[in-house]
Homo-oligomer: A and B are copies of this chain.
């Protein structure tokens, strides 16, 4: 599990940061990539990475501001034209209005997609998706228009069957290994009773990633980020601009750090950085946030951050 930042700027594209898009790479886990927001030229950014568009099976949109959605029509069109690859179906989650924008763009441009496209327009909060590996839920944030944050929870990994230990005790391999893994107690031909639970390692806790849209300080941030391994939070403004942040429905680096501390997250990644912050000013944003929450990083375009498992 890795997070690759495809655009880390705010509002308009700049020379150094493109508008917002964040890829959650779940390749070892489920051989898929999930995209969060899709600002203009996200497909251009993807061209500079190893991400294959057809691996992107779900797109989660936080809100409908242009810097978060204007890359959708182009990305969806180009995804049809991957040499010799049949693109998989794609589902897009986001606020009401999204489907109208995308369908109008595709219809006016006479674009026929070579795959099935499905929209799920979101209500006010809830769970949007669950399978045996992941669960995704969302809550409203506080932005000028409807905007949500997403919480992605990986299911816990059951403990592995300790095959070496079984062999060391001369338990013969075969179908009984499956029964032991399922936790059963099994009688061996030699009369021994073997309890599965004695040969199953400790389960590994699944990881939690929280990816927010643009937002002011609001209690739902801490709820979405509770004990997350990684919180991706906007930081449009620096520590002295709390008034501007409030007026424009955004956050400062300190507000993001305070949310990370309150929620007890492990890592805070700051993105959606205004173009006014360049060079040493970016370091200052990071440093200021670290005075409140030490494990903070201001990300830049093409940063790849791996999401480690927690030690028990």
Binding site for B on A (CB under 8 A): 11-15, 18-19, 40-41, 43-44, 47-48, 64-66, 69-71, 73-74, 77-78, 81, 97-98, 100-101, 104-105, 108-111, 144-145
Pairwise interchain contact B71-A77, C-beta atoms closer than 8 A:
no
CB pair B70 A66 closer than 8 Å = no
B81 contacts A40, C-beta separation under 8 Å: no
Q: Which residues of B contact A65 (CB under 8 A)?
A: 109-111
Q: From A48, which residue of chain B is reached at the shortest CB distance?
A: B15
Known: A15-B48, A66-B74, A70-B77. 15 other contacts (CB 8 A): A12-B43, A13-B47, A18-B44, A19-B74, A40-B40, A40-B44, A41-B44, A64-B110, A65-B109, A70-B70, A70-B105, A70-B109, A98-B108, A101-B109, A105-B105
Q: Please tell me which one of the listed residues B15, B73, B98, B100 contacts residue A66 in the complex, with CB atoms under 8 A apart.
A: B73
Contact check, B111 vs A77: say whether CB atoms are below 8 A apart.
Answer: no
Q: Are A70 and B74 CB-contacts (below 8 A) given A40-B43, A101-B105, A108-B98? A: yes
- Whether A66 lies near B13 (C-beta < 8 A) is no
Instruction: Say whether B15 contacts A47, CB under 8 Å.
Output: yes
Known contacts A12-B77, A12-B81; A109/B69 CB under 8 A: yes
Q: Which residues of B contact A97 (CB under 8 A)?
A: 108
Contact assessment for A14 and B66 in the assembled complex, using a CB-CB cutoff below 8 Å: no
Q: How far is the CA of A70 from the CA of B74 in the complex (A)?
A: 7
Which residues on B sit within 8 Å (CB–CB) of A81?
Answer: 11-12
Provide the residues of chain B in CB contact with A66, threshold 8 Å.
73-74, 77, 105, 109, 111
Given contacts A74-B40, A105-B105, contact A145 B110 (CB under 8 A): yes
What are the residues of chain B within 8 A of A14 when measuring CB–CB? 47
Q: Which residues of B contact A12 (CB under 8 A)?
A: 43, 77-78, 81
A147→B18 CA distance, assembly (Å): 31
Question: Which residue on chain B has the smallest CB distance to residue A69?
Answer: B109
CB distance from A243 to the nearest CB of B (A): 20
Q: Which residues of B contact A145 (CB under 8 A)?
A: 110
Given the complex of chains A and B, what is the CA–CA distance between A66 and B19 in angstroms?
20
Question: Across the two chains, which residue of chain B brings its CB closest to A70?
Answer: B74
